[in-house]
Amino acid sequence: MFLLTPKGFLQVGGVVLILVGILGFIGVIGPGPEDSIFGSAWWFDNAENWAHLLLGIVGLAASFWLKEPMQRQLVLVLGVVGVLVAVYNLFSEGLGAANLERPADLLLHLVVGLWALWAAKGKMLMNPPSQESKS
């Protein structure tokens, strides 16, 4: 279950974020609602496109350059941030210069945040420490 490891989250998530950033810049899912195949229901402005592109590059780089304990910590932080952005989106449709559509961005950030939190547990969930039986 590579997707449920810190490295898997950083690599798959990094590639997806880079693609989302590029697609937002070139008029497939942004940079305005009129440019998105989803219309006003879901689009990414240039602030979001830059954030996605840069976060994707950093995530991919971290998957190769950081050791596993640091990857785990980074993914844990990303999970907390993702969930917090989803909760924030319950009350606001803007975050700095970025727009947050409801429910699309709310669901996206919640799912990614939960995925990151799950992946931060990584091997611990898939291979829990064995308990020695006491006689």
Domain residue ranges of the chain, discontinuous segments joined by +: 2-124
Mean pLDDT score, 63-86: 97
Taking only the tens place, the pLDDT of each residue in 89-103 is: 999 999 988 889 999
d(CA 31, CA 68): 35
CB neighbourhood size of 19 (10 A): 15
> Tokens standing for 99?
């727009």
Mean pLDDT for 77-86 is: 96
Residue range 6-43, pLDDT digits in tens: 999 999 999 999 999 999 999 999 999 999 999 999 99
**Please, which residues have CB within 8 angstroms of residue 16's CB and are 6 or more apart in sequence?**
56
Residue 131 has pLDDT above 60, yes or no: no
Contacts of 75 (CB under 8 A, 6+ apart): 6, 9, 10, 116, 119, 120
